[in-house]
Amino acid sequence: MTGSERLDWVDAAKGLSILLVVMLYATNGAGEATGNVGVLHYFIGFATPFRMPEFFLISGLFLANVINRPWGKYADRRVVHYFYFYALWAVIHIVLKVGLASADPITAAEYLLWAIIQPYGVLWFIYVLALTSLATKVLTQLRVPHWVAFAGAAALSMAQIDTASYALDQFAKYFAFFYAGYALAPWIFKLVQKAISAPKIALAGLAFWAALNGYLVFTPGFVAAPMHFTMGLAEIPVLKFSLALIGAIALCVAAGLLSQKTWMGWLSFIGKRSLVIYLAFALPLSFSRIALIKLGLISDTTLLTIVTMLISIVLPLVGYWMIEKVGFGRFLFTRPAWATLLKSGPKTDHPIKYNAPAE
């Protein structure tokens, strides 16, 4: 399999991830606005175990290409890169949503200060991604064996840490999946390749996984509320962690199969631009939902979820296309030279080939 083919399915996996993330916020927002539960609440419920773990696992897949770089180069690519986008878009979100839309500049100023130590809104993923990258580099430099590091990270995830720091809580919850993406990358790539070579067997495996995941999620005890979903047996820490890891890998397999279908090219298209969507989707999501509700155009929870979800995916892509056309505003989605530790500027986000991590 060539490097480009690998990137096709990785992009498809990113596409699945960003769809699930946007769907979650669109669903919860629509549920809050209408006070009801829609069809997509149950879809999001099914995806609860693996939705964010898969995003972290994918983010760690190509870490082996940069993990052995000197600290300066590594920090520029995997730490400063993320903090730049977090800082920029935290300011944009807070100024627009709190300072302007709510006409409350004092609260906006307070939020800006808090955003330094407490990740703001949906941007927490970018913030925590920098922390997971930093931690993995430290563990690698200390020559901690993969199995020891992963076991510790898994225990941390299942411990369900709850502190005053949201960043630390989310790091504890998801670091294991980022590290799994890094440490298990050779095996994951081989698995996806085998799935592509034997699609019928892969589909059977995915069907079994989906049935098991659905059963454990929807067992008695699950609750689908307008703004929250509580799982059944899948809430048990060991089962929750296991379903998260298995589900994240299952989505990689599914992405591998989908990437072979030309009519699914749109999935890889949005996957390549997942960062653009992630950074900006919350703004059109919030404003479009408010507009549709106030104008009385949509009252059905499911329809409101679908419409606002589509708007919040399409508008960032249109904005990105316009920026690329006019050449102004590229700093919003492309890190400028002044925001890099390297004199020659940041490297590309898409490695040409994959190298297995050193043991």
pLDDT digits (tens, 9 = 90+) for 157-198: 999 999 999 999 999 999 999 999 999 999 999 999 999 999
- Tell me if 18 sits within 8 A of 270, measured CB to CB: yes
Burial category of 190 from C-beta neighbours within 10 Å (exposed 0-12, middle 13-18, buried 19 and up):
exposed
- Position 345 scores a pLDDT of 47
Strand locations in the chain (E) = 223-225, 228-230
Q: Please enumerate in sequence order all residues whose Cβ is within 8 A of that of 159, keeping only pairs 6 or more positions apart, or say none.
A: 172, 237
Question: Cα–Cα distance between 174 and 153 in angstroms, integer?
Answer: 8
Question: What digits encode the pLDDT tens for the residues 310-329?
Answer: 999 999 999 999 999 999 99
- Tell me if 196 sits within 8 A of 260, measured CB to CB: yes
Q: Please enumerate in sequence order all residues whose Cβ is within 8 A of that of 305, keeping only pairs 6 or more positions apart, or say none.
A: 23, 26, 27, 29, 30, 38, 40
Q: Which residue has the tokens 């960043």?
A: 167
- Position 344 scores a pLDDT of 56
Q: Where are the domains of the chain?
A: 3-339
- Position 102 scores a pLDDT of 84
- Position 355 scores a pLDDT of 35
Q: Enter the tokens of residue 213.
A: 């995941």
Question: What digits encode the pLDDT tens for the residues 202-220?
Answer: 999 999 999 999 999 999 9
Question: Cα–Cα distance between 256 and 17 in angstroms, integer?
Answer: 14
Q: Enter the tokens of residue 113.
A: 């200060």
Q: What is the pLDDT along the chain (359 residues), one digit of tens a residue?
A: 444 444 789 999 999 999 999 999 999 999 999 999 999 999 999 999 999 999 999 999 999 999 999 999 999 999 999 999 999 999 999 999 999 888 889 999 999 999 999 999 999 999 999 999 999 999 999 999 999 999 999 999 999 999 999 999 999 999 999 999 999 999 999 999 999 999 999 999 999 999 999 999 999 999 999 999 999 999 999 999 999 999 999 999 999 999 999 999 999 999 999 999 999 999 999 999 999 999 999 999 999 999 999 999 999 999 999 999 999 999 999 999 999 987 654 444 433 333 333 32
- Position 2 scores a pLDDT of 42
- Position 354 scores a pLDDT of 34
Q: Enter the tokens of residue 197.
A: 């070579």
What is the distance between the terminal CA atoms of the chain, rounded to a whole angstrom? Answer: 23
- Tell me if 338 sits within 8 A of 52, measured CB to CB: no
Q: What is the pTM of this model?
A: 0.91
Strand locations in 174-296 (E) = 223-225, 228-230
